[in-house]
Structure 1
Amino acid sequence: MSRKPIKFPQNSMMNHPEVRPVFERLLGPRIEPEDCKMKPVSATNVRHEDSVAALASQMCHGRAFPLYLDRRHRQKFGTPEADWPDGTYDGLRARDWLCKACGVRIWSELDTDPEAAERFLKIYNRYSRWQARRLGKI
C-alpha cells in the first residue's frame, strides 16, 4: 500500500534537517507548493454541451427565440403588431425574460437548481413546438 506525500507547514518541526529525513523515509517526499495546485474545475461539474445554461444562452442569442417571445406576447396580451412589432425582444431582453420566468438571476443557476431547470425545459418544449409548426414540421 503506497501513501501520498504529506505537506508540512514551513514552521513545522518536521522541516528540521535532522527530523525530516526520517519522516520522508516513512511518509514519502515533501510536496512542493507548485505540485499541490488544484486544477480549475467548473462550479457545477457539467460539460458545456450538457449544460442547460448553455442551451438557454444559444436560444436567447439566436433569432427564433426572441421572435417567439414577440409573437407570444402579442397573442397572450392581445397586443396589435403595430404596438409590439417583431424585433421588440432582442437577445438581452430574451435573457432577462427567461431568467425571470425560470426564477434565476443568472443562467448558470439553471445547472444547479433542478426546479429552475424544469421550468426552463417546459419553456423550451413550448418553443420547440412553436418552431416546428412555424417550419411546417408538424
Structure 2
Amino acid sequence: MGIPCGHAIAAMGLNHQDPYCYCQDWYLADAYRKTYDGVVYPTLDRSQWPDPSHTLPLVLPPKVRRQPGRPKKVRVERGLERGVHHKCGTCGQLGHNKRSCKNPPIVNRQQNEAPIGPSAPMENRFGIFWNT
C-alpha cells in the first residue's frame, strides 16, 4: 500500500535503515504540504463549474442480478435474544435461577442490604418492624 508494515519497520530498525526511504512519496510530509500550496478560488454558483461531460466518460452503476434462493432475514435483535444471564436469588451465582438451584443459600448478607420479598419484615411510620 506504499507504507511498510510494522514488521518491516522493526527489521529496518535492527539494520539501522531509515523507514522513510521505503515509503511512497505521496505519504511524506512534503507531499502533504504541497497539496495545500495552491490557491483554490471559490465559485458563486453552478454556472461557474467546469463541464465534466466532455472530459470524463459516463460511468453506469453495475448490473445487479438477484441471487437464487430464499432471501435472508434482516431482523433487529431484542434484548432477550442477545443472551440473558440469569442470577440465582438463593446463592447469587449466574447461569441458573432460584427454582433450579442446587447450591446452599447465602447465609451472611450485608448489613445495609435489606431482605426483599413477601416474608421481609415491614416497618411502620414509628420505626417498628414486624413480619407478615
Is TM more than 0.5 here? no
> Which category describes the TM-score, using the shorter chain as reference length?
under 0.3
Q: Find the structure with the greater CA-based Rg.
A: 2
Q: TM-score, normalised by structure 2?
A: 0.19
- Higher percent of residues as helix: 1
Larger relative contact order (CA 8 Å, sep ≥ 6): 1
TM-score (norm 1): 0.19
